[in-house]
């Protein structure tokens, strides 16, 4: 009965879904060729360096071995070794997904540039994947290689049950389906698609009747199923995409499981999960015509763009939980995972495909040129996981690395960059009825089909360094249609379609269009200059988008940007890096009188336009601790290419006037002291204790902390040794507590000791209360002593460790 009902439902669903999709259709990346300029050069490095590098890392990090070990376990058990199992050699049960994403990225590269050797390599890799699939279609190496008991806390004894928590079984499959479709489209080989369909059949068997209601713990399977549906036309796949969306609403905000998706109105929780979810909701809205999903993501998008987006188009400000913060919680030492920015591109593009509104591609462009491109080095083989808007030049903030890293234990970001840059052409233009919409300006050629008529569109431009774009149209036969050229928000005087940021001078720039050399007057429609006429082979259009340098301010509700200013030109957000500015950037002041001139430097950082700033100043602290300033000339580089010349401080926001500058602090008793500790792990830098860096707010994951983890319950200490006997009378301690993400809590008790003349440690006398609290520094005064060393003794809680942001001494 249940089956029959399911069949009837399915029939109804298929009828409803037939033939509907996004009203705007992208011109596929296979029909677009980038031939020069910034995007092409990044794409070329992506194909020649990042792609082989990522495939190599999948091998050397033993992610591919996981598949072999799963296959071996099945083979040996089938041959009679019924207790044989393998222990996974990697760290996370979601490591399979990195292999799938690397295959997807490599497949996209093959679509752009066929390569028999790479194709053979992928076909071989896919054999390893297929061999790890269980006979009924189940594919998850961590269970298959170790079937008798879970090989990780995140895995349940039964399939799927812990997916809403952390098993990532459905997450891996979502990436598998995306890869299977990409590989089929690139090579015409269905070897990986067959693995996908066998897996999808199992999901239909396990979930197709609407039970059990498992809400995917890390979304992406919704997008995966939408792609599988488009590739095969099988309506079961879109029904499953919808099913997995509709299961949500029984869990927490971290995985957007706190409410049914159609009732969600704010971006919350883990930002990659969130942006994948919203993209999946867009797909299901498009394919089913269910407007409730679109209503929800439209409101959520407005929440992000008006309250939760960094100037660079990065999102997910909090390191804790890799999550969206509260409204206006946009610290400069933020997290902004590369994957979150990539997923934000997917979501914005889908919002555009649904509405045809250019504002979504304005936001897309901001994220692409800044928050996404920053995720990979110019060399193509070094990556950022987080993308902060300021950096002190030394913090180990990139998942255990200071500066860009070759790979990560959790390696989601590098292959995400790979697949995105490889398929960049797919975001250049789109078709809606008789409209050809051009979204990205880049040297190259696209072929779109408008009302059955193939139209070639060639672009010649130096964008993003110059706003002049020349188009040449070659329709196969003359035809009347509308050419829509996006006129970005920054031309019109606003950084985002919201009041989150503003230009100090918001005067719109005078953009213009000419057709066959003659200036034409064109109105803006949904952000596009729309030109309707009969187009003939050889017609030319010139678009001129002036690129004045813009000074940007943040909404006063953003605490981190008060009194600060940033610089933009065209779609590019700029940053100061120490290497161009005498080693320091936080002392820079940019008064209104500063003269800012763009200057193209072909030999710098792959060829960039820098901003030369004359008549700026640098703040210095005089003897009495007050600020004065000295004249300085500054050079700003595009944010996306920071950290390509070694470690150096960097900031996107600089002081508007001298009172807001942050010159390096004056040395203190603490900052000059030598540190010893009872214990710390090798990855911990004890100088966090006296680096004079405090968190910018309660959720700033990047104020470096010192901690005793994994020691728990013990008594530990840290000591400052002074160069000579020094009078001391108070300490200020800022405790670190990562409840919710880690195992550091406030101490049970603590006290201050000094090194007495007899060489013994003695408690200081006459102390004020040893308070213990989060966030603000705790000050303890005591009877002044003169000593060569001071010690903090800390009792750790029974099951937890303790950490400190800073320990100051008066």
Residues that bind Zn ion (CB under 5 A): 337, 339, 412-413
479-486 and 435-438: which strand pairing?
parallel
DSSP 92: -
Q: What share of the chain is helix, strand, coil (3-state, %, to 5)?
A: 35, 25, 40
Judged by CB, which is closer to Zn ion: 96, or 337? 337
Judged by CB, which is closer to Zn ion: 72, or 98? 98
Instruction: Report the C-alpha dihedral over residues 214, 215, 217, 223, rounded to 10 degrees.
Output: 110
How near is the Cβ of 272 to Zn ion at its closest, in Å?
6
Judged by CB, which is closer to Zn ion: 103, or 809? 103
Q: Which residue is nearest to Zn ion (CB)?
A: 339
How near is the Cβ of 794 to Zn ion at its closest, in Å?
34
Paired tokens of 549:
């340098």
Asked if 801 contacts 722 with a C-beta cutoff of 8 angstroms, the reply is no
- What is the DSSP secondary-structure string of 661-686? --PPPPP-TTTTSEEEES---TT--G
How near is the Cβ of 604 to Zn ion at its closest, in Å?
29
- Bridge partners of 734, per DSSP, are 806
How near is the Cβ of 414 to Zn ion at its closest, in Å?
8
Judged by CB, which is closer to Zn ion: 412, or 589? 412
How near is the Cβ of 385 to Zn ion at its closest, in Å?
6
Judged by CB, which is closer to Zn ion: 102, or 412? 412
How near is the Cβ of 477 to Zn ion at its closest, in Å?
47
Judged by CB, which is closer to Zn ion: 94, or 360? 94
Main-chain phi, psi angles of 464, to 5 degrees: -90, 10
Radius of gyration of the chain (CA): 28
803-809 and 429-432: which strand pairing?
unpaired
How near is the Cβ of 382 to Zn ion at its closest, in Å?
15
Terminal Cα-to-Cα distance of the chain (whole angstroms): 78
Nearest partner of 113 among 425, 442, 381, judged by Cα: 425
How near is the Cβ of 76 to Zn ion at its closest, in Å?
35
How near is the Cβ of 90 to Zn ion at its closest, in Å?
16
Q: Which residues contact 489 (CB under 8 A, 6 or more apart)?
A: 359, 362, 495, 496, 497, 527
Asked if 287 contacts 353 with a C-beta cutoff of 8 angstroms, the reply is no
Judged by CB, which is closer to Zn ion: 160, or 347? 347
Judged by CB, which is closer to Zn ion: 275, or 303? 275
How near is the Cβ of 101 to Zn ion at its closest, in Å?
10
How near is the Cβ of 92 to Zn ion at its closest, in Å?
12
Judged by CB, which is closer to Zn ion: 39, or 413? 413
Q: Which residues contact 758 (CB under 8 A, 6 or more apart)?
A: none
CA distances from 162 to 466, 584, 617 (A): 51, 48, 57
Judged by CB, which is closer to Zn ion: 367, or 629? 367
How near is the Cβ of 675 to Zn ion at its closest, in Å?
33
CA dist., res. 405 & res. 385, Å (int): 9
674-677 and 706-707: which strand pairing?
unpaired
Q: Is 206 exposed, middle or buried (0-12, 13-18, 19+ CB in 10 A)?
A: middle
Judged by CB, which is closer to Zn ion: 369, or 383? 383
Judged by CB, which is closer to Zn ion: 417, or 673? 417
CA dist., res. 655 & res. 618, Å (int): 10
Asked if 802 contacts 772 with a C-beta cutoff of 8 angstroms, the reply is no
Judged by CB, which is closer to Zn ion: 415, or 475? 415
Nearest partner of 618 among 607, 608, 632, judged by Cα: 632
How near is the Cβ of 384 to Zn ion at its closest, in Å?
10
- Bridge partners of 597, per DSSP, are 612
Q: Annotate 443-480 with b (16+ C-beta within 10 A) or e (fewer).
A: bbbbbbebeeeebebbbbbbbbbbbebebebbbeeeee
Asked if 279 contacts 343 with a C-beta cutoff of 8 angstroms, the reply is yes
- Bridge partners of 638, per DSSP, are 574
């Amino acid at each position: 009965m249940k089956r029959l009902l399911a069949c009837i439902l399915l029939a109804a669903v298929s009828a409803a879904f037939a033939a509907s999709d996004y009203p705007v259709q992208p011109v596929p990346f296979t029909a677009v060729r980038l031939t020069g300029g910034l995007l092409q050069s990044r794409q070329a490095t992506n194909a020649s360096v990042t792609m082989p590098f990522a495939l190599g890392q999948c091998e050397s990090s033993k992610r591919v071995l996981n598949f072999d070990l799963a296959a071996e376990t099945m083979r040996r058990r089938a041959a009679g070794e019924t207790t044989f199992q393998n222990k996974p050699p990697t760290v996370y049960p979601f490591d399979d997904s990195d292999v799938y994403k690397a295959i997807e990225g490599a497949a996209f590269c093959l679509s752009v540039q066929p390569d028999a050797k790479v194709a053979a390599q992928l076909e071989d890799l896919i054999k390893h994947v297929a061999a790890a699939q269980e006979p009924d279609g189940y594919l998850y190496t961590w269970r298959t290689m170790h079937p008798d008991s879970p090989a990780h806390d995140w895995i349940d004894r039964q399939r799927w049950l812990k997916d809403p928590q952390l098993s990532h079984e459905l997450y891996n499959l979502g990436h598998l389906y995306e890869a299977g479709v990409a590989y089929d489209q690139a090579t015409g080989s269905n070897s990986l698609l067959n693995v996908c369909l066998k897996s999808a059949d199992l999901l239909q068997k396990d979930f197709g009747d609407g039970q059990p209601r498992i809400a995917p713990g890390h979304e992406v399977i919704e997008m995966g199923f939408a792609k599988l549906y488009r590739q095969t036309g099988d309506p079961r796949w879109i029904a499953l995409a919808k099913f997995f969306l509709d299961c949500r609403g029984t869990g927490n905000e971290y995985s957007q499981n706190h409410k049914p998706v159609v009732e969600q109105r704010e971006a919350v929780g883990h930002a990659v999960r969130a942006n994948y979810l919203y993209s999946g909701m867009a797909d299901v809205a498009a394919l089913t015509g269910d407007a409730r999903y679109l209503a929800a993501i439209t409101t959520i998008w407005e929440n992000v763009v008006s309250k939760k987006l960094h100037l660079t188009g990065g999102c997910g400000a909090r390191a804790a939980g890799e999550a969206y913060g509260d409204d206006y919680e946009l610290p400069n030492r933020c997290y902004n995972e590369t994957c979150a920015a990539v997923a934000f591109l997917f979501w914005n593009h889908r919002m555009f495909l649904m509405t045809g509104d250019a504002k979504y591609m304005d936001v897309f462009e901001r994220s692409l040129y800044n928050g996404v491109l920053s995720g990979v080095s110019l060399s193509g083989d070094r990556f950022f996981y987080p993308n902060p808007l300021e950096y002190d030049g030394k913090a180990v903030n990139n998942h255990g690395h200071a500066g860009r890293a070759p790979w990560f234990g959790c390696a989601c970001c590098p292959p995400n960059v790979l697949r995105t840059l490889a398929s960049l052409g797919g975001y250049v233009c789109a078709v809606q009825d008789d409209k050809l919409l051009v979204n990205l300006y880049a040297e190259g050629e696209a072929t779109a089909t408008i009302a059955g008529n193939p139209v070639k569109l060639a672009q010649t431009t130096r964008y993003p360094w110059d706003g002049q774009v020349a188009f040449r149209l070659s329709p196969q036969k003359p035809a009347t249609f509308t050419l829509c050229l996006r006129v970005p928000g920054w031309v019109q005087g606003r950084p985002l379609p919201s009041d989150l940021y503003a230009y100090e001078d918001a005067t719109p720039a005078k953009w213009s269009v000419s057709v066959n050399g003659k200036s034409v007057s064109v109105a803006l429609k949904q952000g596009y200059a729309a030109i309707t006429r009969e187009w003939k082979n050889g017609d030319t259009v010139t678009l001129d988008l002036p690129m004045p340098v813009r000074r940007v301010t943040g909404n006063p509700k953003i605490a981190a940007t008060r009194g600060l200013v940033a610089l933009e030109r065209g779609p590019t957000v700029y940053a100061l890096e120490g290497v161009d500015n005498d080693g320091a950037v936080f002392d820079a002041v940019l008064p209104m009188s500063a003269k800012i001139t763009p200057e193209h430097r072909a030999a710098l950082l792959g060829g960039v336009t820098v901003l030369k700033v004359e008549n700026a100043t640098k703040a210095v602290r005089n003897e009495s601790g007050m600020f004065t300033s000295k004249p300085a000339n500054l050079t700003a580089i595009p944010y996306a290419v920071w950290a390509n010349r070694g470690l150096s401080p960097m900031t996107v926001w600089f002081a508007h006037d001298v009172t807001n500058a942050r010159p390096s602090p004056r040395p203190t008793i603490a900052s000059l002291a030598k540190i010893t500790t009872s214990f710390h792990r090798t990855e911990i830098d004890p100088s966090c204790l006296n680096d004079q860096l405090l968190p910018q707010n309660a959720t700033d994951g990047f104020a470096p902390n010192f901690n005793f983890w994994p020691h728990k319950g013990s008594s530990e200490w840290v000591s400052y040794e002074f160069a000579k006997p020094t009078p001391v009378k108070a300490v200020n301690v800022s405790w670190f507590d990562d409840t919710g993400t880690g195992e550091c809590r406030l101490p049970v008790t603590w006290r201050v000791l000094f090194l007495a003349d007899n060489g013994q440690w003695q408690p200081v006398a006459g102390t004020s209360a040893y308070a213990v609290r989060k966030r603000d520094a705790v000050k303890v005064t005591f009877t002044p002593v003169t000593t060569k060393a001071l010690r903090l003794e800390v009792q750790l809680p029974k099951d937890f460790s303790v950490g400190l942001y800073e320990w100051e001494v008066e």
